[in-house]
């Protein structure tokens, strides 16, 4: 089955700096890679996703890159703000099967 | 947009009792529902996958007789934690395949077993 690894587990940046979180996956059949932001006690919120037919996707300050050959994908947050502080999870899925999550990254943005 | 309603949002029960958690897809049909468990400061761990009208597929290490999953309709899936123990205390969350974004999460249920 799919195995998703995520790094780093914690990340602290200064407000305005960029943050990068990286994930690798094992199942070459995976074709959908969402990123979720989760605040304490709440459901994960989808912030961006990418499908295997594209290499990069951007939405304002958030971008995701995908390297299907190497089986890794990354989340980039630019111009970080304190409200970006949360736990971020990557996930991988073959849309015909289940979705597996990475272990999560606790991002802290210091004002 | 797609909405999955999950109830209850939190529940406290005594050891040995059973608790039922419901997830309803309100504006789309969820042919597949995933049930996750999340311990504090940990990731979401897939417990089981259920398809409407068929038996759930459980992940290794998850007791199917303890965590009963029913997916009798395209809009409702339930997870029943039977004979609950304190170690079952966790955040349980469902995710339905379908809707605008492909996967739609319920709001989660915080279970505390005392």
CB atoms within 10 A of CB B24: 18
CB contact under 8 A, B108 and A41: yes
**CB contacts < 8 A (A, B):** 44
Distance CA B31, CA B98 (A): 8
* Confidence (pLDDT) at B21: 97
Distance CA B7, CA A95 (A): 26
Q: Is B68 at the interface with chain A, CB within 8 A?
A: no
Q: How far does the CA of residue A89 sit from the closest CA of chain B (Å)?
A: 8
CB contact under 8 A, A42 and B93: no
Tell me the chain A residues in contact with residue B102 when contact means C-beta distances shorter than 8 Å.
32, 34, 49, 95
Cross-strand pairs, A50: A33
Distance CA B77, CA B34 (A): 9
* Confidence (pLDDT) at A19: 98
* Confidence (pLDDT) at B29: 86
Tell me the chain B residues in contact with residue A43 when contact means C-beta distances shorter than 8 Å.
93, 105-108
Contacts of A21 (CB under 8 A, 6+ apart): A6, A7, A8, A11, A35, A74, A75, A88, A90, A105, A107
CB contact under 8 A, B44 and A44: yes
Q: Which of B46, B91, B108 sits opposite A100 (nearest CB)?
A: B46
Show the tokens assigned to B78: 């339930």
Q: How far is CA B83 from CA B7, B17, B67, in A?
A: 19, 5, 9
Q: Is A7 at the interface with chain B, CB within 8 A?
A: no
Per-residue pLDDT of A62-104, as tens digits, reads 999 999 999 999 999 999 999 999 999 999 987 666 788 999 9
* Confidence (pLDDT) at A94: 78
Closest CA to B61 of B29, B94, B37: B37
Cross-strand pairs, A13: A109
Distance CA A14, CA A80 (A): 8
Mutation test of the interface with chain B: which of A2, A7, A10, A43, choosing the one with the most B Cβ atoms within 10 A? A43
Cross-strand pairs, A35: A48, A90
pLDDT range class, residue A2, cuts 50, 70, 90: confident
Per-residue pLDDT of B37-94, as tens digits, reads 998 888 899 999 998 888 899 999 999 999 999 988 889 999 999 999 999 999 999 9
Three-state secondary structure call for residue A65: strand
């Amino acid at each position: 089955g799919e195995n998703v690894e995520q790094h780093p587990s914690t990340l602290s940046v200064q407000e305005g700096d960029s943050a990068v979180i990286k994930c690798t996956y094992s199942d070459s059949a995976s074709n959908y890679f969402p990123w979720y932001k989760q605040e304490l006690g709440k459901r994960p919120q989808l912030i961006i996703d990418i499908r295997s037919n594209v290499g990069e996707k951007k939405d304002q300050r958030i971008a995701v890159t995908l390297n299907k050959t190497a089986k890794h994908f990354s989340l980039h947050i630019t111009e970080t703000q304190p409200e970006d502080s949360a736990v971020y999870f990557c996930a991988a899925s073959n849309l015909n099967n289940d979705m597996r999550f990475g272990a999560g990254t606790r991002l802290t943005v210091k004002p | 947009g797609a909405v999955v309603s999950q109830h209850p949002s939190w529940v406290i029960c005594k050891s040995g009792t059973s608790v039922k958690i419901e997830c309803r897809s309100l504006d789309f049909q969820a042919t597949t529902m995933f049930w996750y468990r999340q311990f504090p400061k940990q990731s979401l761990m897939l417990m089981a996958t259920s398809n409407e009208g068929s038996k759930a597929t459980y992940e290794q290490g998850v007791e199917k007789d303890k965590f009963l999953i029913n997916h009798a309709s395209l809009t409702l899936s339930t997870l029943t934690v039977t004979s609950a123990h304190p170690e079952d205390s966790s955040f349980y969350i469902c995710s339905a395949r379908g809707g605008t974004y492909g996967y739609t999460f319920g709001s989660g249920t915080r279970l505390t077993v005392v």
